Copies of this chain bind each other. A is one copy, B any other.
Amino acid sequence: MSFLNHIRRCNNADLSQFEPWFVGPERAGFIHRDFAPTLASRPALFGHRDKAWHLDPSLDTPERRSAAMRAFLLELRAQGHFKGLWREEAYAVTWQFTRPALLEMERSAVPWFGVRAFGPHMTGYVRRKDGLHIWVPRRSYSKPTFPGQLDNTVAGGQPAGIGLHENLIKECGEEASIPPELARQAKAVGYVTYWNQSGAQLKPDIMTCFDLELPEDFTPKANDGEVHAFELWPAGRVFETVRDTTEFKYNCNLVLIDFFVRHGMLSADDPDFVPIVEGLRTREPEYTT
């Protein structure tokens, strides 16, 4: 089974290439050794000691930290960082979503600072007489990230200042034209985590899994240009596509594997059952600074 390959692919981070950064005593994220010179060039903002980076402690409120970080990131942007990915969307910097944010920062900078991102990922499914079916969207071919790949029915990053379920209801409308009264019935059923590295960028992310049972006569429709088209697939076809291909955006596989487990599509006596289920909520990799 190659479900484990997807889990390994999502969890490719080598923390020995990173150092943590702190806001006061609280760890906010990780800085790659190739990005470190950028921080080192601003010693008033980021100090370095004991193999870790520390945000200027005189920035003693979330507002001050957010403003200083924004000024820094805008300079980096002017130097050509973040390219076309800048979104003008604030993410909360915190290791635990329900805790107060240490500061807020622009979404596209988040993986450069190894800050944990959050977000709801929903599987919209239909119980038909001929079995379980899942609504599968293909991402727009014009999206800057992962164009044309398959995706979770509805998914979104988590902007600061809004709850996960509320955000999901918003995304359901924007991405799939699912009306709020229907989207509200989505149920949080678990989460998946992974530690993914792409060059100097780190995503130690946690995605909350939602299920939404949709009526047979409802058809999601692309709305905001994020989705190319939706197709209703038998769950078995989704299962095989996840298992055998890389057609789904890399982290969406984890949400679907979690769905397969929760809906009893794996056997308890499969030698990979425990490793797969365990791998969906990975631990922090070991590192020595």
CB atoms of B261 and A189 under 8 A apart:
yes
Known: A190-B262, A206-B274. A268 touches B164 (CB 8 A): yes
Q: How many copies does the complex hold?
A: 2
Q: Does A12 contact B (CB under 8 A)?
A: no
Interfacial chain B residues near A187, Cβ < 8 Å: 263-265
Q: A191-B274, A277-B191, A281-B281 are in contact. Are A268 and B206 (CB under 8 A)?
A: no
Residues of B within 8 A of A190 (CB): 261-262, 277
CB-CB under 8 A from A168, the residues of chain B are 268
In contact, A264 and B191 (Cβ under 8 angstroms): no
CB pair A188–B264 under 8 Å, yes or no, is: yes
CA distance A97 to B270 in the complex (A): 10
Asked if B211 contacts A269 (CB within 8 A), the reply is: no
**Range for the number of chain A residues in contact with chain B:** 35 or more
Q: What residue in chain B is nearest A267 (Cβ atoms)?
A: B188
Q: How far is the CA of A137 from the CA of B193 in the complex (A)?
A: 35
Query: A261 to B263, alpha carbons, bound, how many Å?
Result: 13
User: Is A163's CB within 8 Å of the partner chain B?
Assistant: yes
Select which of B120, B262, B274 is within 8 A of A97 by beta carbon. B274
Minimum C-beta distance from A108 to chain B (A):
25
C-alpha spacing A278/B278, complex, angstroms: 11
Q: List 18 A-B contacts (CB under 8 A).
A: A96-B274, A97-B274, A98-B271, A98-B274, A165-B268, A187-B265, A188-B264, A188-B268, A188-B273, A189-B263, A189-B264, A190-B261, A190-B277, A191-B277, A208-B268, A210-B268, A277-B281, A278-B281
